Amino acid sequence: MSWRALAASSGLVAGLGCAAFSDPMGRERALADAQLRYTQQVRWGNLDAASEFIAPEERAAFLGQTHAFEAIRITEYDIGRIDYGEDRRSATVHVTYHGYSLASAQEQRIDEQQTWTRPGSGNSWLVRPQLAGLIESFPAASR
């Protein structure tokens, strides 16, 4: 094998290796998993379970919405793409919920922008949700 062929093949292997290991710590996968589990818990109205993904300083306010959330049923949701910050320690995700208040059978579309951060050096991600806007979309539920 000539030195050119050897150099070309090692360059190809190195390029494929970099593509395969662009996230060797699994942080993107960890965020995708956490974001999906959080959104599913919100969809089913299980705010206690969803709160484990909430930033600690916002957890009490989030759980304070439990009573109002009991009057809401989310029928489905759509998760947009994950946009990572330049430092890869933060990300935003646009989620569209479809739901209705038990006081009305009229379905509404609610958009939420979730802001996720990765504190520390591990793979744990925490969200700063904007569910207050979701609750306000259902006036009967906020009473």
Q: Identify whether 5 is part of a domain.
A: no
Residue 116, domain extent: 26-136
In this prediction, what percent of the chain has a pLDDT beyond 70? Answer: 74
130/54 Cα distance (integer angstroms): 11
pLDDT in tens, 58-91: 999 999 988 888 888 899 999 999 999 998 899 9
pLDDT band at 132 (very low <50, low <70, confident <90, very high): low
Cα 115 off chain centre by? 8
Q: Identify whether 125 is part of a domain.
A: yes
Query: Where residue 65 sits, what CATH number does that domain have?
Result: 3.10.450.50
Q: Identify whether 143 is part of a domain.
A: no
Predicted confidence at residue 82, as pLDDT, reads 92
pLDDT at 23 over 80: no
* Burial of 5 (C-beta count, 10 Å sphere; 0-12/13-18/19+): exposed
Cα 103 off chain centre by? 29
pLDDT band at 54 (very low <50, low <70, confident <90, very high): very high
What's the Rg (C-alpha) of the chain?
Answer: 21
Q: Identify whether 6 is part of a domain.
A: no
How many structural domains is the chain composed of?
Answer: 1
Q: Identify whether 82 is part of a domain.
A: yes
Q: Identify whether 11 is part of a domain.
A: no
CA–CA–CA angle 52, 53, 55 (5° rounding): 100
Predicted TM-score (pTM) of this structure: 0.76
Q: Identify whether 77 is part of a domain.
A: yes
Q: Identify whether 78 is part of a domain.
A: yes
